[in-house]
Amino acid sequence: MLELLIVRTLFILYQLSLALHRALWCNCTTAQCEKTGSRCETDGACMASTSFINGLEQHIRICITRDNLVPPGQPFYCLSAEGLLYTHCCYTNYCNSLDLKVTSVTSRPVELVAVVAGPVCLLCVLLIMAVFLFQYHQRAYSHRQRLEVEDPSCDHLYMAKDKTLQDLIYDMSTSGSGSGLPLFVQRTVARTIVLQEIIGKGRFGEVWRGRWRGGDVAVKIFSSREERSWFREAEIYQTIMLRHENILGFIAADNKDNGTWTQLWLVSDYHEYGSLFDYLNRYSITIEGMIKLALSAASGLAHLHMEILGTQGEGVPL
């Protein structure tokens, strides 16, 4: 019984060995295969390939030996190249008789159109956004320019090269209206100020100490988002008869716009001790000093509520 089992096992192994080494017949188009009727025998695989070179299709059918089927699972001889070469390997007799077609890259216009149209569309969108932003800045700039129309009746106040800050303040206090300098002069002053250091920050922007013709000035810089606050404050400062010794002295209002960013400036007198809050936190004051502070504050408030002719009996709103 054991001997019969061994014989059967050996027979099965022999049949498997014959199957593994059985010859594989393939179609062959090479010159060497003309003697054998355009066929070849191999222990590996049959291969059919179609190449597309210089606009012409070339068909090749050959045998590949077992030694050339490397690496296992994806032999080099069986690889294809998109648009140039299409290769097919098979493992049954004459299985490489099929006709293969190479898919040309130019036969896919949809992908080509997408590759070209995508960047063009993106560029168009960017150009439209750039034009929109440019027009927006132009409109905003034109709106601010309307605030700067100079008064032709004030030609005598145009800036002289030798005029100092003290002369400027004197002109403002004796010009008659008490509403400050003409807008043309304000622009001239604001655009020749040299910022020195930042001395404070607030909700609407920053406060800097600046220099103009040897004198110190305070420059309150608003961001473009706070244009309405800047306009309102500048409008209040330029009210008739507002200038008073107990009210912060207004000098100029202007905007700085270079096309990419905008700053709105409000220039006033500079006080080295800062605000009343800063002064009280830094220094101790006497009773006499407190009386002087209270008197100056009351005088300023009284002036703000003073009746101004031509304004229907109303003072400046606080």
101 is in an annotated binding site: no
CB atoms within 10 A of CB 150: 14
Alpha-carbon span 211 to 233, nearest angstrom: 22
Dist. CA 259–CA 29, nearest whole Å: 73
Distance CA 193, CA 209 (A): 10
The type of residue at 313 is G
Q: Which whole-number Å values give the CA distances from 292 to 140, 287, 289, 295, in the listed order? A: 45, 9, 5, 5
Distance CA 261, CA 223 (A): 9
Q: Strand 215-223 and strand 262-269: pairing?
A: antiparallel
Work out whether the CA dihedral 193, 197, 203, 205 comes out positive or negative: positive
H and E: helices and strands count for the chain:
7, 10
Helix (H, G, I), strand (E, B) or coil at 262: strand
Q: Where is the binding site for ATP, in residues?
A: 220
